[in-house]
A and B are shown apart, each in its own frame.
Chain A
Amino acid sequence: MIDNAAVELSRLQFGLTAMYHFLFVPLTLGLSVLLGIMESVYVMTGRAIWRDMTQYWGLLFGINFAMGVATGITMEFQFGTNWAYYSHYVGDIFGVPLAIEGLMAFFLEASFIGLFFFGWNRMSEVGHLTVTWLVALGSNLSALWILVANGWMQNPVGAAFNFHSMRMEVTSFSDVLFNPVAQAKFVHTVSAGYVTGAIFVMAISAWFLLKGRNSEFAKRSMTVAASFGLASALSVVVLGDESGYTASQNQKMKVAAIEAMWETEAAPASFTIFGIPDLAARETHDAVKVPWMLGLIATRSVNQEVPGIKPLVAASENRIRSGMVAYGALEQARAHPGDADAKAILEAHVKDLGYGLLLKRYTDRVTDATPAQIEKAAWDTVPNVLPLFWSFRFMVGIGFFFIAFFAGAFWLSAKRQLDRYRWFLGLAVLSLPLPWISSELGWFVAENGRQPWTIDGVLPTFLSASSITAGNVWLSLGGFVLFYSALAVIELFLMVKYIRLGPEADAGGSPASLAPARAGE
């Protein structure tokens, strides 16, 4: 009944459309705050150049924002179209933050974005500044609710299985809301967005300076981006570490896979800085290790162990056996809702029900699974070690580069020498793609590392899909690839056009003007 090709294609489609969507989201998050800062300076000093900066970066913001909105609708719809069983099974919990996101955050952002562009001559300066900050607040709150939803997929707290309705139902909404994984992820993700906005402003301003144009405009923009970027880069790395710490508390397998740690090591565990993990051979070739480091990051202690993949697989095997009992009791309870024994057995083993469901990949009769099937299902709990191992290392490497880069930029801006070193400006231009690369790697680590689950330990990915045919998914996937590629070409064309035109593109501004904008100043 479940078409495996449809599952794999749906995964591909979700991954591609989500990563595409996230090309636009971080820039929206970062630039919206930068716009608020620039306009605040304008309102406080009255200098027209700060209004011109707000309007020009706002113009680029708008081009990007349209794509973020357009591709975001796809994400919301896809849970229903391609992951119908998931929607049924966890909609009671997962749907809530998505709906509140619309109600509390996206309404705010989308209602005021029109006034941001059309309200310059219709509102007071303070009024317009308020609008700009409300757009920034809306986009950041949006990220909060989306990450509450995503955090629950990684760490499904505050919910319990109900056999009558055959799904998970909420037991404590405050547990869902204050999920530590969600909180850590939120701050890590918005910080990454701020870094993206800062690098975007740095790179384009540096390009202006290299071309010898719009120098006053560019230097001021870089000054703002340098300090904002430094704070954000520090936050993204420090809170990334927080994210790793919370992951190690609840997703031990993800941490073990990212580290390619096959066996539990004596505490404190070493950190493998280089190696070629091999899932088939269950070992890492050519490993270079730094003693103690992993233990310190993951447990923040010198005597706690970080469990390895093989012992975790053995633990999964036990949970699968317990899940088989749960599944048998569930069948019994569904057929005879009055059967108190079945309900008691289900209750005792229900926390392992998800592990039992892993067997459905190999047999319809979960309760009769063979030891070989159980072993296979247990090894299914190991995600794809090699790409996780390397994606994580590149992401972290880029994160440390950002700290160094912004520290340099901050120092140069403090000495008012941002335009002095051409090599530094060149470096700024070349850094432009890095925040996008690291953000995409980060999402890959978070979501591929969650496999084989959509809801960690509760619902396997292959069971989450809709009962749709692979042919239909081929059609939609092909359609998305063509349509999104065309949109990407158009978006890049407009972005490049307006970057080349520069601040003069914004006909209402008087570029590089240092004169006070208000009479009497």
Chain B
Amino acid sequence: MAFLDYPTLRVIWWLLLGVLLIGFAIMDGFDLGVGILLPFVARSDGERRVAINSVGPVWEGNQVWLILGAGAIFAAWPTIYAVAFSGFYLAMFVVLCSLILRPVGFKYRSKVAGHRWRAAWDWLLFLGGFVPALIFGVAVGNALLGAPFAFDETLRMTYHGSFFGLLTPFAVLSGLVSVTMLTMHGGTYLAAKATGPVASRARVAAFVAAFLLIILFAAAGVWAANLQGYQISGVLAHDADSNPLGKIVLRETGSWLANYRSMPWTMAAPAMGFAGAMLAGLTTWRRYDIIAFLASGVAVFGVIATAGLSMFPFILPSSFDPASSLTVWDASSSRTTLLIMLVAVVLFLPVVLAYTAFVYHVLRGRVTERQVEADHHSY
């Protein structure tokens, strides 16, 4: 096997896709969670400003994980980008609108003093957290179920579903896993970063969310184990040019468990999901806020990795025409592009992580009402 041959690069980019999506869920996930919790854990205007300013200076950088995630799918998995974004057309539109609410909401809310103005923005910020969290979860659920699409001979994709067709019971359950997971994550962040009643209520919220996450994640796991999964039949070349029409795919109940049987180490992912959530719940109750936040991050990692590992090598299977399914071996960019992108990631991602750490270091410490009042740059 040559150094960085095509199959290796494809697996590396499958891993990097996971890194970027998990990076988004861990970094921007707590911003989304804070948005979800905002109207509930913070009641007075002063309290709400504490919650908002706990993420105010950093959320913008965090959101770039999503921008980069989408950009990396475009560059490394263009066919998946094309199918997922156009297939889930209206869902993407709803996600977009709710994501747009956040930059303007954070920035504009406290620029006008009126109570109704601020209350309206608080609920819009709630939607800006809740809707993406829900829809991204629903999307993962639909990936596990398979999406109704097919390719013609020129690799033009047609989609045979509808917006409401996405909201099947299993997909909604996945959406709720995502919502409880990010609520837990946002709760542990607020517990560690805010002060006073906001932090105390956030601890309660994080505890409840962690508890719900364990139940819902277990339920989704049992359900997924009994779904009709997908399996490649016969041999599919791992180094051929990307052409998703060159394989035969079978559907079989329980095949989403196949990887756990053949590679038992993959069980670590669901184990991390459960253990992280349990630890986060327990430690947040005992006010070990930093440990709770880190444990919550482990849970986020475990839950998302579970979904990815269950499906490998599938990334987006097709329920309408299983042969059109998109896998690691036939939906990637060319080898040259994967290599160029890998070089870019190796060069720049460490720099990004370094200055992100620096920014958090400068902004260290809890946010208090007095501090928010005193700084006229506060949101």
Other-chain contact of B81, A69, A80, A108 (Cβ < 8 Å): A80
> Chain B 328-360 against A: per-residue CB contact (8 Å), 1 yes, 0 no?
000001101100110011001100100110010
Instruction: Give the complex CA separation of A114 and B86 in angstroms.
Output: 33
Which of A79, A91, A472, A479 gathers most chain B CB within 10 Å? A91
Chain A residues with CB under 8 A of B86: 80-82, 84, 466-468
Question: Is A84 a contact partner of B82 (Cβ separation < 8 A)?
Answer: yes
Instruction: Give the complex CA separation of A483 and B101 in angstroms.
Output: 10
Question: Is A114 a contact partner of B104 (Cβ separation < 8 A)?
Answer: no
Instruction: Give the complex CA separation of A65 and B102 in angstroms.
Output: 13
Question: Is B359 a contact partner of A77 (Cβ separation < 8 A)?
Answer: no
- Tell me if A's interface is mostly helix, strand, loop or mixed: helix
Question: Is A103 a contact partner of B156 (Cβ separation < 8 A)?
Answer: no
> Chain A 454-485 against B: per-residue CB contact (8 Å), 1 yes, 0 no?
00000000000011100010011001000100
Question: Is B153 a contact partner of A334 (Cβ separation < 8 A)?
Answer: yes
Question: Is B60 a contact partner of A102 (Cβ separation < 8 A)?
Answer: no
A 106-142 contacts with B by CB, 8 A: 106-108, 110-115, 117-123
Question: How far in angstroms is the closest Cβ of chain A from B230?
Answer: 21
Chain B residues with CB under 8 A of A106: 64, 67-68
B 356-377 contacts with A by CB, 8 A: 356, 359, 362-363, 375-377
B 265-304 contacts with A by CB, 8 A: none
Instruction: Give the complex CA separation of A110 and B85 in angstroms.
Output: 24
Question: Is B74 a contact partner of A79 (Cβ separation < 8 A)?
Answer: yes
Question: Is A69 a contact partner of B336 (Cβ separation < 8 A)?
Answer: no
Question: How far in angstroms is the closest Cβ of chain B from A104?
Answer: 5
Question: Given A102-B71, A118-B363: A77 and B85 within 8 A (CB)?
Answer: yes
Question: How far in angstroms is the closest Cβ of chain B from A50?
Answer: 17
Instruction: Confirm or deny: B155 has a beta carbon within 8 angstroms of a beta carbon on chain A.
Output: yes
Instruction: Confirm or deny: A98 has a beta carbon within 8 angstroms of a beta carbon on chain B.
Output: yes
Question: How far in angstroms is the closest Cβ of chain A from B217?
Answer: 28
Instruction: Confirm or deny: A73 has a beta carbon within 8 angstroms of a beta carbon on chain B.
Output: yes
Question: Is A66 a contact partner of B107 (Cβ separation < 8 A)?
Answer: yes
Other-chain contact of B85, A66, A81, A101 (Cβ < 8 Å): A81
Which of A96, A119, A120 gathers most chain B CB within 10 Å? A96
> Chain A 157-199 against B: per-residue CB contact (8 Å), 1 yes, 0 no?
0000010111101110100000000000000000000000000
Instruction: Confirm or deny: B119 has a beta carbon within 8 angstroms of a beta carbon on chain A.
Output: no
Other-chain contact of B71, A95, A468, A475, A476 (Cβ < 8 Å): A95
Other-chain contact of A103, B153, B337, B344 (Cβ < 8 Å): B344
A145: nearest chain-B partner, CB-CB? B71
Question: How far in angstroms is the closest Cβ of chain A from B74?
Answer: 4
Instruction: Confirm or deny: A88 has a beta carbon within 8 angstroms of a beta carbon on chain B.
Output: yes
Question: Is A165 a contact partner of B112 (Cβ separation < 8 A)?
Answer: no
Chain B residues with CB under 8 A of A169: 333-334, 336-337
Other-chain contact of A80, B74, B76, B154, B155 (Cβ < 8 Å): B74
A82: nearest chain-B partner, CB-CB? B86
Question: How far in angstroms is the closest Cβ of chain B from A213?
Answer: 20
Instruction: Confirm or deny: B56 has a beta carbon within 8 angstroms of a beta carbon on chain A.
Output: yes
A 308-354 contacts with B by CB, 8 A: 334
Instruction: Confirm or deny: B100 has a beta carbon within 8 angstroms of a beta carbon on chain A.
Output: yes
Question: How far in angstroms is the closest Cβ of chain A from B225?
Answer: 31
Instruction: Confirm or deny: A92 has a beta carbon within 8 angstroms of a beta carbon on chain B.
Output: yes
Instruction: Confirm or deny: B63 has a beta carbon within 8 angstroms of a beta carbon on chain A.
Output: yes
Instruction: Give the complex CA separation of A466 and B159 in angstroms.
Output: 10
Question: Is A173 a contact partner of B376 (Cβ separation < 8 A)?
Answer: no
Other-chain contact of A490, B63, B78, B81, B108 (Cβ < 8 Å): B108
Instruction: Give the complex CA separation of A521 and B35 in angstroms.
Output: 46
Chain A residues with CB under 8 A of B345: 103
Other-chain contact of A114, B58, B155, B158, B243 (Cβ < 8 Å): B58
Other-chain contact of B79, A62, A88, A96, A110 (Cβ < 8 Å): A88
Question: How far in angstroms is the closest Cβ of chain A from B369?
Answer: 16
B59: nearest chain-A partner, CB-CB? A114
Question: Is B107 a contact partner of A62 (Cβ separation < 8 A)?
Answer: yes
Question: Is B78 a contact partner of A114 (Cβ separation < 8 A)?
Answer: no
Question: Is A73 a contact partner of B99 (Cβ separation < 8 A)?
Answer: yes
Instruction: Give the complex CA separation of A166 and B331 in angstroms.
Output: 12
Instruction: Confirm or deny: A512 has a beta carbon within 8 angstroms of a beta carbon on chain B.
Output: no
Other-chain contact of A165, B57, B93, B243 (Cβ < 8 Å): B243
Instruction: Give the complex CA separation of A74 and B85 in angstroms.
Output: 12
Instruction: Give the complex CA separation of A506 and B89 in angstroms.
Output: 43
Other-chain contact of B159, A65, A87, A334, A468 (Cβ < 8 Å): A468
Question: How far in angstroms is the closest Cβ of chain A from B365?
Answer: 9
Other-chain contact of B334, A81, A87, A120, A170 (Cβ < 8 Å): A170
Instruction: Give the complex CA separation of A514 and B241 in angstroms.
Output: 67
Question: Is A110 a contact partner of B63 (Cβ separation < 8 A)?
Answer: yes
Chain A residues with CB under 8 A of B376: 506-508
Question: Is B72 a contact partner of A99 (Cβ separation < 8 A)?
Answer: yes
Question: Is A80 a contact partner of B82 (Cβ separation < 8 A)?
Answer: yes
Beyond A70-B99, A76-B71, A99-B341, 12 extra complex contacts between A and B, CB < 8 Å: A1-B152, A69-B103, A80-B81, A96-B337, A99-B71, A103-B352, A110-B60, A111-B58, A113-B61, A115-B363, A118-B378, A483-B97
- Chain B contact residues, CB within 8 Å of chain A: 56-61, 63-64, 66-68, 70-72, 74-76, 78-79, 81-86, 89-90, 92-93, 96-97, 99-100, 102-104, 106-108, 111-112, 152-159, 240-243, 333-334, 336-337, 340-341, 344-345, 348-349, 352, 355-356, 359, 362-363, 375-378
